[in-house]
Structure 1
Amino acid sequence: MTRPNLLLVDDHPITIDGYVNILTTSKDHDTLIDFTTAYSCEEAYVKITKRYLSQKTFDLAFLDISLPPYEIKNIQNGIDLGALIRQYFPKCKIILLTMHSEPLLIHNAIKKINPEGFILKNDINALSLVTAYLSIMQGHKFYSATITKVLSQAILKKLNFDAIDCQILELISRGIKTKDMTKHLNLSLSAIEKRKAAIKNKLLKDKRSDKELIEHAIKIGLL
């Protein structure tokens, strides 16, 4: 049997060591696994592109969302890495892991890369990590309890935000100026300005500041 090739990306080495130990010592499967590890967006980018150029693939990627960014390539987090993996390795399954359960982050990730697995770190232990791994490798999806609960909430459905709307709001929350958003989005400045105005209208019903917009988004639980 061919060994699965797994990519593990997390900025805490002890976390990656834990994943490797759990997956290699589990009695629920006896398949040997090849691991590739990275601790930042830049390191992951290098290893993903090298593997692509060598005409090899990954079978599954565990991606922490919060990672040191790779600004030169505009890769800010694990979601952006997931988009890169979708481009280079369309058959690779993706598990996103996070400590954050904000609806905007979760919906943005779903809309942008539609991961096979999405896990809030506080939801899992060694047993459920193995369960998630085996389930996804067998072609199923696995979303942990908190992620499933957030997805069932109506707030973003009511607002009808798409992936770009979510990205614009996330960029505003990071303090990115509107004129600089063209570096992060494949949109013209005028298109971004129209989108931003529509977002403010949906959330605030009038023309208030970016600061007030973010304060309101936090208040209603989007951020």
Structure 2
Amino acid sequence: MLSRACKSPPQRRVFVVGVGMTKFVKPGVENSRDYPDLAKEAGQKALADAQIPYSAVEQACVGYVYGMADCALALGFEKMYKRGLETKFSDRTNPVDKHFEVLVNKYGISAHPIVPQLFGSAGKEHMEKYGTKTEHFAKIGWKNHKHSVNNPYSQFQDEYSLDEVMASRSIFEFLTVLQCCPTSDGAAAAILASEEFVQKYGLQSKAVEILAQEMVTDLPSTFDEESVIKV
């Protein structure tokens, strides 16, 4: 009786049936919009893509939420400061303080922007350990810019050669401006549905099943004072 009572409930199949996204723009521009407008556009586009009414959505979530529903709208948005990831709140602990401590212990901190130092130092350590070349990291930026050409929602849609990426303005160590992600304002949404909901609304032809998912938080090894890569 005990083992029968402790059995996990059967897993339900989950499908993505609609997605929506705003165009991502540079923070602080004249036509930038606030959270409600960004969220509204992304959500309405997701509903239009799914071709279902808003009344069919049982829950709408922003962040990590656990709940049972046949149809839910997952929404994310960001509105950043014009100068990027500066510290704006001095009355609370910065959530990445521990990560910066690892950087200080390994390489120290210079006058360069702090976030590029974090990623650049991880790359530097990777080079020292595995012989990685600067071209390997530059190819990531080259690939991403190449993809942006076909995405109308990208903040930038210019394609660059590998040489142009490597020769662009230096930000920190080997990192150049065309290898760094920009600050952006924008939003995106997805509608998730159960198998029963997909069948009810005839969405089989557009439904994309989620076969697996995983979520993890920082591990103790993340704060290993000997390695920036794990940060």
TM-score normalised to the size of structure 1? 0.24
* Structure ranking higher in helix proportion: 1
Q: Which has the higher contact order (CA 8 A, sep 6+)?
A: 2
Of the two, which has the highest radius of gyration?
A: 2
